[in-house]
Amino acid sequence: MPASRVFILRNPQFGTCPECKKTGTLHRSRSRNMFEQIVRGTTFMKPYRCKECGWRGFRSTFIITRKSARNIVFYIMLIAITAFVARYILSRFVSV
Ligand SMILES: [Zn+2]
């Protein structure tokens, strides 16, 4: 199963700043409040700060490519079909 291809790991520290468009200026920032801690703990988003212009915000550490989005749809459909078949089998063998 090509599960590892669904998400592609990306390090925003090597990416470009959304404000000044410079490359390699972002570095990890500490969470300032509860909201940021929750976002950091529950999503792939992590707080970053730009050394050049002082921009601060969340950047994703994962990217989903067009191909991987198709994989996700495929897996969701597979789960849905499996659930449907399982329910069908159960309804046939478990008499009401
Ligand atoms: Zn910047």
Helix (H, G, I), strand (E, B) or coil at 48: strand
Helix (H, G, I), strand (E, B) or coil at 35: helix
What does the DSSP 8-state code read for residue 20? Answer: T
Per residue in 22-80, pLDDT tens?
Answer: 999 999 998 889 999 998 888 888 999 999 999 999 998 877 777 888 888 999 999 99
pLDDT at 6 exceeding the cut of 70: no
38 and 53: one domain?
yes
**Degrees to nearest 5, angle at CA 24 with 29 and 17:** 70
Neighbours of 12 (CB within 10 A): 19
Instruction: Give the structural domain span for 25.
Output: 1-64
| pLDDT in the model for residue 1 | 47
| pLDDT in the model for residue 71 | 86
* 15 Cα–ligand 1 center, Å: 11
The residue ranges of DSSP E strands in the chain, in sequence order, are 8-9, 26-28, 45-50, 56-60, 62-63
**What total of structural domains would you count in the chain?**
2
* 54 Cα–ligand 1 center, Å: 6
58 and 14: one domain?
yes
| pLDDT in the model for residue 74 | 93
- The token pair that represents 56 in the structure block: 């601060």
| pLDDT in the model for residue 65 | 78
Question: pTM of the full predicted structure?
Answer: 0.58
